[in-house]
A and B are shown apart, each in its own frame.
Chain A
């Protein structure tokens, strides 16, 4: 197998939360101990509910925030804040909302050329424009769109522009933070197709962040399921969807509505909601909502175990070998 483009080891991000003037601030562990590797031409999907730390993970990978602990490597070199400026061009991000992520006062051409202006000062104007026009074609937009403003485009087209902008610096890793959840169903499929095409052509590594399991099932090669900042299950798409180990993964899969009215519904009902990330239980973070919980789960926190397909659970569903 080829070498990974990016690896993350024991990645953590904590936030200090003040709880009043005269009280000690508390620590919110948004991400704790996440590990992964991104390979060229492959998609790693991170799934989980709101508040599970998916977006914080994206912010660390794109070097917007510094990890509190743990390390990232890009092409074998460690990612440290001193080198961020030069490394950032290899990792680009596409945001969820294409209405908020494009400057309404810039023309599409200007939007696309801006990353080059900042990061490639050696490039001449004509080269830049040529590259931006080429990129416009690559994402399936027409040349006449070059001088238009974002409001003249539909949601799907704007997301194409956002993808084009992310690709201007020839990145190796593309972080996709819920790239299709703001789009209508009929548009969603064409944007997903575009992402598949681009990945094949440019051998990009995708970090695909989503809460929509049916989309993840379609695009992912590897899947990480996160719960309260921790990875609770990790494995290839086929094994995670077919034989989930962790009870949370199983509940998540059963809660996802299937577009088949004849499908039998064996919905696992989870009681309660996500605990506050400020008060994560001592043992397994999922223990308060789990139906298989035992004394051991409340006392000690299970670690991820298993090789290709791992889960952090003492009493897994389809027990890992």
Chain B
């Protein structure tokens, strides 16, 4: 069943130098108990689109969408109070930097019990018991003692577990993890990713993993959506995405991975991601694309068919193999 249903989502920021479109016409579906990864470089709008779903964007942002529903409820027309009841309960998020997203003035136990009090209205004893249970679930040793620790007394990996415990406290239907392991070491990263995957198996929640690390995507995700400069440019299940990418950007990004290198010089993508003032007229990737022609530079491509991974490209790659098979 579709948990999150997004059609034509755009986010504009009012900046001192005019409107800036951070997310541009993104369509996205997330089903129950699936792991969707959203990958992209910095500035690709991957975090902003999910923050828009959560309703956590600042007032300078204007969110527009044709459809934006979560679990059958329309988030666009919902009144803010009703939305506040969902956010943090059925729809939860883990942020990138555990150190700066926890409140340094309160113990982690207080912060996790607050979620239980506000959303579930549990009594004091119940809250304490549930908090201990949650800490055990995310693998924090000695939970009773750790509940009275402040964020600065714990390591980054432990704080990230606290964030996860807090996010899953109310058994969310959908968990959005925004670069949950970027600030952590690889051995801790492996622990956290296994934890997220096992929580999904146990509770059947949907999981959206926002990341820029292709390795994490390959090992964890089931479906992958690639974003570039605010647009979703391709979406495929994980294995075909890595084997037969359809958009030239996806393909170039995969070729640039050091571990795929066959010689000392790596293939590169020339140029940089377009910013506010140098957005090209046609395809956003055309200035950096090795296959671009006059048509690409003049006209913006529409997403193609599902067989071609919805690639926003006039000349998708690996299209013959697909058609033949």
Contacts and interface: CB of A to CB of B under 8 A. Distances in A.
Contacts of A154: 272
Contact of B188 (A184, A256, A273): A273
Interface string B184-228: 011111110110000000000000000011111111100000000
B120 interface: no
A23 interface: no
A188 B186 contact: no
B118 interface: no
Contacts of B193: 257
Given A189-B266, A218-B266, A257 B258 contact: no
B268 A185 contact: no
B124 interface: no
A269 interface: yes
B239 interface: yes
B218 A49 contact: no
A290 interface: no
B190 A259 contact: no
B321 interface: no
B319 interface: no
Contacts of A280: none
A185 B218 contact: no
Interface in A203-223: 211, 213-215, 217-219
A50 B185 contact: yes
Contacts of A196: 264-265
Interface residues of A, number: 40
Given A257-B218, A257-B219, A189 B213 contact: no
B242 interface: yes
B260 interface: yes
Interface string A176-190: 000000001111111
Contact of A185 (B158, B188, B253, B270): B253
A32 to B, nearest CB: 20
A255 to B, nearest CB: 4
B257 interface: yes
B256 A259 contact: no
Contacts of B189: 255, 257
Contact of A255 (B155, B190, B217, B256): B190
Q: Which of A189, A254, A263 has the most CB of B within 10 A?
A: A189
A189 B268 contact: yes
B42 interface: yes
Interface string B247-263: 00000111011111100
Interface of B: 41-42, 141, 155-158, 185-191, 193-194, 212-220, 238-239, 241-242, 252-254, 256-261, 264-270, 272-273
Top 7 A-B pairs, shortest CB-CB distance: A257-B215, A218-B258, A189-B266, A49-B185, A184-B41, A255-B190, A189-B256
